[in-house]
Amino acid sequence: MTAIADRRWDRADSALEPLLPLEQALERMLAGLEALEPERVALSEAHDRATAEALTALVTLPPWDNSAMDGFAVRAHDLANATAARPVTLPVVGEVAAGHPPPRAVDPGTAMRILTGAMLPPGADAVVPVEETDAPRGASLLPKRVRIRTSPEPGAFVRRAGSDLQAGAPLVARGTPLRSADLALLAASGHGTVLVHPRPALAVLSTGDELVQPGEPLSPGQIYDSNGVALAAQARWVGAEVSSVVTVGDQLDPLLDAVGRASREAHLLVVSGGVSVGAHDVVKEAFARIGSVDLWRVAVQPGKPLAFGHAVIDGRRLLLFGLPGNPVSSFVTFELFVRPVIRRLAGHADPLARITRSARLGEPVRKDPARRAFLRVMLEPDREDGLIARLAGAQGSHVLSALAAADGLAVVPEGVSSLEAGAQVEVWELEPRIR
């Protein structure tokens, strides 16, 4: 049977103002929005933060020729005829370990014991692994001579200076979020600190007289607040610091008080619920009391009503988001609108970038042709080495079980009312269970 993306199509849409396309909404949100003022921090504090400058190598890597193995530094010419049947014996003239300069050169007809990472001594042009000699492995006294059973080529087991990087080579572009490997590269190339953008501070506010904190007793007509938990987790995943998570009722005065308190330490205030056209939808009024705000009807499904605005609190700009109260709509609109704004404030080069997959639908779907649908889907391999996107469950904006089961959001564009099984779709990857 054909799956329906959202059964609650708004039949009154044609009587209201036109739906705002997704790209126009994002353009308005991001227009003139600059990244937060950068700060210089130690590498240990820079993980997953975006760089505010392009970075280059301060030193050459490796800085000098060094050994890739524990063994003996030699002149390859001296061992040109060495074999397992006819080993060549050389006197051992010393040892060089990592972190120490060679005690002397390797003269013709001699060898020097060398440990992994140690500088190649002058005169040597190859390293023979200890396994190719009669020397004992592991901790041992320095032998007086060594029998070598192999004939190395010049450069064997030698890491050449600059074979990884030359000083001045580009490392990380501006606006790049720093991964663990990036930090290792920066450290190895001489950087002790890095200029990065701060993580934006975000306050979460869930509205509704029916909301109760998870784990507390429920009275008739009440439900647990899942939006606050989800939005805070989404914000942290995308790189924000969550300054507060608060639940408040549908009355204007308590809401204003909660908005005021939540705004003091935040760059963004995200409120779920109260942005539609119901008698108790007072979020827009609360936003208007502290700043300027617009209420948009965006052409997305799920999630159509959206409030966005600005306020200035103690000389600091605060961005205001009002998201739908239905939990799936709240989750999806955060991904669509709040996520890119967080990334812009955090200094990411492309705030809209995300991991996408191409997949074939596993079943037919129907949707409102006036809106872009984001279907909650599970991805699985198909027989042709591609991916199949199957609906994770019912697609109503209240169905959290399907959202939790989903691997991603399959995008079905405006102007399309249905797609058959096998149709190709783009899937936006959600937070994976394995990192």
Question: What CATH number has the domain bearing residue 103?
Answer: 2.170.190.11
* Tokens standing for residue 360: 């074939």
Q: Are residues 261 and 384 in the same domain?
A: no
CATH number of the domain residue 376 falls in: 2.40.340.10
User: What does the pLDDT read at residue 8?
Assistant: 37
Find the DSSP H helices in 264-405: 283-290, 327-333, 339-345, 400-405
User: What does the pLDDT read at residue 345?
Assistant: 98
Q: Are residues 16 and 150 in the same domain?
A: no
User: What does the pLDDT read at residue 383?
Assistant: 82
Chain centroid offset of residue 413 CA:
26
Q: Domain for residue 435, yes or no?
A: no
Q: Are residues 285 and 187 in the same domain?
A: no
Q: Domain for residue 308, yes or no?
A: yes
Q: Domain for residue 248, yes or no?
A: yes
Contact call for residues 96 and 103 (beta carbons, < 8 A): yes
Q: Are residues 232 and 277 in the same domain?
A: yes
Q: Are residues 185 and 210 in the same domain?
A: no
Q: Which domain holds residue 376?
A: 356-429
Q: Domain for residue 422, yes or no?
A: yes
Q: Domain for residue 139, yes or no?
A: yes
- Say whether 106 sits in a helix, a strand or coil: coil
Q: Are residues 22 and 113 in the same domain?
A: no
Q: Domain for residue 44, yes or no?
A: no
Q: Domain for residue 434, yes or no?
A: no
Q: Are residues 378 and 388 in the same domain?
A: yes
Please tell me the pTM assigned to this model: 0.89
* Tokens standing for residue 53: 């400058």
User: What does the pLDDT read at residue 279?
Assistant: 52
User: What does the pLDDT read at residue 264?
Assistant: 86
Contact call for residues 346 and 36 (beta carbons, < 8 A): yes
User: What does the pLDDT read at residue 308?
Assistant: 94
User: What does the pLDDT read at residue 147?
Assistant: 98
Instruction: Using the 3D structure, point to which of 292, 311, 345 is the last residue of a domain.
Output: 345
- Say whether 329 sits in a helix, a strand or coil: helix
Chain centroid offset of residue 417 CA:
33
CATH number of the domain residue 29 falls in: 3.40.980.10
In angstroms, rounded to a whole number, what is the distance separating the alpha carbons of residues 270 and 263? 10
Q: Are residues 152 and 179 in the same domain?
A: no
In angstroms, rounded to a whole number, what is the distance separating the alpha carbons of residues 307 and 296? 6
Backbone angles phi, psi at 360, to 5 degrees: -105, 135
Contacts of 361 (CB under 8 A, 6+ apart): 388, 389, 390, 410, 419, 420, 421, 422, 423, 424, 425
Q: Are residues 142 and 185 in the same domain?
A: no
In angstroms, rounded to a whole number, what is the distance separating the alpha carbons of residues 417 and 331? 23
The pairs formed by 225-229 with CB atoms below 8 angstroms and a separation of 24 or more are: 226/327, 226/400, 227/272, 227/273, 227/323, 227/325, 227/327, 227/330, 228/204, 228/272
Instruction: Using the 3D structure, point to which of 323, 345, 367 is the last residue of a domain.
Output: 345
- Say whether 58 sits in a helix, a strand or coil: coil
Q: Are residues 213 and 337 in the same domain?
A: yes
In the predicted model, residues of the chain with pLDDT beneath 70 are 1-17, 276-280
User: What does the pLDDT read at residue 372?
Assistant: 97
Instruction: Using the 3D structure, point to which of 312, 345, 378 is the last residue of a domain.
Output: 345
Domain total in the chain = 4
- Say whether 332 sits in a helix, a strand or coil: helix
- Say whether 393 sits in a helix, a strand or coil: coil
Q: Are residues 142 and 275 in the same domain?
A: no
- Per-residue burial over 150-175, b if 16 or more Cβ lie within 10 Å, else e, is bbbeeebbbbebbebbeeeeebbeeb
User: What does the pLDDT read at residue 14?
Assistant: 40
User: What does the pLDDT read at residue 177?
Assistant: 97
Q: Are residues 230 and 290 in the same domain?
A: yes
Contact call for residues 345 and 335 (beta carbons, < 8 A): no
Q: DSSP letters of 232-257? A: HHHHHHHT-EEEEEEEE-S-HHHHHH
Query: Using the 8-state DSSP alphabet, how is residue 286 labeled?
Result: H
Q: Domain for residue 47, yes or no?
A: no
